[in-house]
Amino acid sequence: MNLKKRLYLKLVLFLAIITVLNLSLVAQTFDAVKSRVKVHTLKSGMKFIVLERHEAPVVSFHIYADVGSANESYGITGISHLLEHMAFKGTKIVGTKDYEAEKTILVELDALFDQIKGEKAKAKPDAKKLEEMEKKFEALRKKAKEYVITSEADNMLMKEGDRIINAYTSNDATQYIDSLPSNKVEFWMAMMSDRFFNPVFREFFKERDVVMEERRLGVETRPTGRMFEDFFATAFKAHPYGHSVVGHMSDLENITRRDVEQYFKKFYGPSNLTVGIVGDVKAEEVFKMAEVYFGRIPSGPRPEPVRTKEPEQWGERQVIIEAKSQPRIIIGYHRPDYRHKDNIPLEALANILGQGRSSRLYELLVKDKKVAVTVMSFNGFPGEKYSNLIAFYVIPSRGHTSAECLELIDEEIEKVKKELVTSDELTKFKRGNVKSLLNEMKSNSSMAALLTYAEVVLGGLDAAFDQIEQIRAVTPEEVKYVANKYLIKKHRTIGEIVPEK
C-alpha cells in the first residue's frame, strides 16, 4: 500500500469519527423544528398538524386518508384509486348547475348499468336488448352531463393560485395535496370540507375510462409495469399487497357508483383523515377554522385494519414476463412492517447493499464485474403498513443476463450474513438519512407530507421517537442478524423480464 492510499484511509477513518459526533449537532436543528409543530384533534377524531414556517407568504396542505389498495378485496380492486379520481368531480354545491335534477338521472344511470351487467351475465345475452340499453345509457349519460360544470372544483382552486392540485393513491394511503397563497386558508377549508363531506361522484363512467387508460399506460403497455404487477401477485398470495393499486381491468369495468359511495362511507370518516398544514399561517387560527369547517362532521367508527396476514412462504417463487424488451430482474424477501424492531437494521442493510455509487452491490455488479448498469435496493415494497418486502432491482448491461446478476447478489448476501458491516458503512447510512431529511424539510409540501406520515404510519410520535434512538444506535451485529433472519432463499420471490423470441 502506498503512502497516499494510507493517508487517504486515515482521513476516511477520521471523518467517520467526526461525522458521528456531528450528527448530534444536526439534531439541534431538528429539535428547533420539533418545538414548532402543533397538533389539534377534533372531537370526531380528525387530526390537524400545523408547522408555522414564515419564509414566504404561501401554505401547503396535505390530507392523508388512511386507505389504499391494501384495503380492497376481490371485485373492487382499484377502487381506492378510482375514488381518488372521483373526489375531484365536485359536490352538491360545486360542479353542478342543478343537483336535484342531476341526481335523478344519476340514479337512473346506475340502475341501467346494473341491468346491462345483468343481461351480459346471462347464459345467452340478448344482443338486441343490450344494444338498446347501451344506446339509452349513452343518451342518459349525455343528459346528466348537461348539468355538469366541468372541472369546476379544479377551476376554483386554480383561479386562487393553487400551484399543486394533485392526489396520489398507494397501497397504504390516499393523499391529496394543494398549495395556496397563505391568505386563502379559509377558502381551502371551505373547498375541502365540502369535497370530503358532500361529494357527488358524477361523470363516473368517463372517469373510469380515464383510469383504464392509466392502467394501460402504467401497467399494460410497459414491460416493467407488467413485471411489477405479476411480481407482487406472486410474492403475496393472501395479503392484498398482491394486487396493483390501479386494479384489475375487469374490476374497473364492473365497479358501480354505489360501490364507490359505500367505500367512501367506510374509509373517509373524519377519524380516518389526518391533515398536515405547513407555511405562513398561525396555528391557532388554523385550528379555529378547522373546528368551524370540519367540526360539524359527525364521527364514525374507525375501519378495521386489514385482516389477512401473508402466511409464511414455503419455497422460492419465480415469475417470468415475456416481452419485447431487454431483461430486468427484481428479487424480494419478506420482511415485517415498519413498526417492527428489525425495521431500522433492515433499512441499514438495504442502504449498505444497494443505495449509492459506493454501495456493495453497485461496486460489485456495476463497477467491478460490469454485468449491470443499475442496481438498487429498497424496503417498504410495495407498502409499509403491513409486512412487505426488502427488494433488489437490477438492469443488466448489454450482453449480460439476469442470472449472472443474481449469482453475484447471492454471493454478496452470503458475505453480509457472515461478516459484520463496517462502521464507515453505518455512518454513511446515518448521515445519508439526516441529509435527505433536511432536504425534504426545505419544502412546505413535502414537510406537510412528512408530518402526516409520522402521525399515521409510525403510529404516533412516541413510537416515532423510539425509532430515532434505533437509528442512532444501530450496530453492525444487528445488521448481520437481520441479514441472516430475512435474506433467505425460501422466503424470496424473483420476477424477471425475459426477451420474447
Partner 1 sequence: MKLQRKLITLFLASFLSILFCGSSVYAQKSPKDKFIFPQLNPIKMPKVERVELKNGLELFLVEDHEYPTIDMRAMVRLGSVFESASKIGLASMTGRVLRTGGTTSMTGDQIDKELETMAAYVSTGIGLTSGYITVSVLKEDIDRALEILADILMNPAFKEDKIYLAKIREKTAISRRNDEVGQIAYREFQKLIYGKDSPYARHPEYATIEAITRQDIVDFYNKYFFPNNIIMAVWGDFSPKDMVAKIKKALGKWKEKEAEVPALPKVSYEYKYTINYINKSDVNQSNIMLGHIGGLRDNPDYPALSVMNSILAWDRMYKKIRTDEGLAYSVWGYYGANYQVPGVFRCEAQTKSESTVYAIELMLKELKRIREEEVSSAELARAKDEYLNSFVFNFDSRAKIVNRLMTYAFFGYPLDFMDRVKKGVEKVTKEDVLRVAKKYLRPDKVQILVVGKKEDFDKPLATLGEVNVIDIKIPPLKPQKKTGN
Given 76, 144, 191, 494, the residue binding partner 1 (CB under 8 A) = 191
Between 359 and 493, CB nearer to partner 1: 359
Of the candidate spans 115-123, 125-133, 180-188, 227-235, the one that interacts with partner 1 by CB under 8 A turns out to be 180-188
Between 93 and 238, CB nearer to partner 1: 93
Does position 284 interact with partner 1 (CB under 8 A)? The reply is: yes
Q: Hey, how many other C-beta atoms are within 10 angstroms of the C-beta on 261?
A: 16
All cell numbers assigned to 229: 404487477
* Residue window 202-241: x/- pattern of binding to partner 1, with contact defined by CB under 8 A: -x-xxxxxxxxxx-xx--xxxxx-----------------
Does position 16 interact with partner 1 (CB under 8 A)? The reply is: yes
Q: Are 440 and 450 in contact (CB under 8 A)?
A: yes
Q: Are 182 and 279 in contact (CB under 8 A)?
A: yes
* Residue window 320-349: x/- pattern of binding to partner 1, with contact defined by CB under 8 A: ---xxxx-----------x--------x--
Q: How far is CA 217 from CA 164, 166, 220, 226, 495, in A?
A: 22, 19, 6, 11, 20
Residues with Cβ < 8 Å from 382, sequence gap 6 or more?
170, 171, 232, 241, 245, 388, 389
Q: Which of residues 458-497 bind partner 1 (CB under 8 A)?
A: 458, 461-462, 464-465, 467-468, 471
Given 106, 349, 353, 457, the residue binding partner 1 (CB under 8 A) = 457
> Closest approach of Cβ 65 to partner 1, in Å?
16
Given 1, 2, 3, 35, the residue binding partner 1 (CB under 8 A) = 35
Given 156, 319, 406, 498, the residue binding partner 1 (CB under 8 A) = 156
* Residue window 60-99: x/- pattern of binding to partner 1, with contact defined by CB under 8 A: ---------------------------------xx-----
Q: How far apart are CA 190 and CA 233, in angstroms?
A: 41
Of the candidate spans 153-161, 228-236, 255-263, 299-307, the one that interacts with partner 1 by CB under 8 A turns out to be 153-161
**Burial of 352 per CB tally in 10 Å (0-12, 13-18, 19+):** buried
DSSP letter, residue 386:
S
Between 285 and 316, CB nearer to partner 1: 285
Show the 3-state SS of 243-267. CCCCCCHHHHHHCCHHHHHHHHHHH
- How far, in whole angstroms, is CA 6 from its chain's centroid? 45
The footprint of partner 1 on this chain (CB under 8 A) covers a number of residues equal to 133
Angle of helix 185-197 relative to helix 152-159, nearest 10 degrees, comes to 170
Q: Are 336 and 346 in contact (CB under 8 A)?
A: no
- The continuous run of DSSP H or E covering 273 comes out as strand 273-279
Does position 169 interact with partner 1 (CB under 8 A)? The reply is: no
> Closest approach of Cβ 183 to partner 1, in Å?
5
* Residue window 357-386: x/- pattern of binding to partner 1, with contact defined by CB under 8 A: xx----x--xx--x--x----xxx---x--
Given 75, 118, 161, 459, the residue binding partner 1 (CB under 8 A) = 161
Of the candidate spans 64-72, 231-239, 277-285, 297-305, the one that interacts with partner 1 by CB under 8 A turns out to be 277-285
Q: Are strands 37-41 and 47-52 parallel, antiparallel or unpaired?
A: antiparallel
Does position 4 interact with partner 1 (CB under 8 A)? The reply is: yes
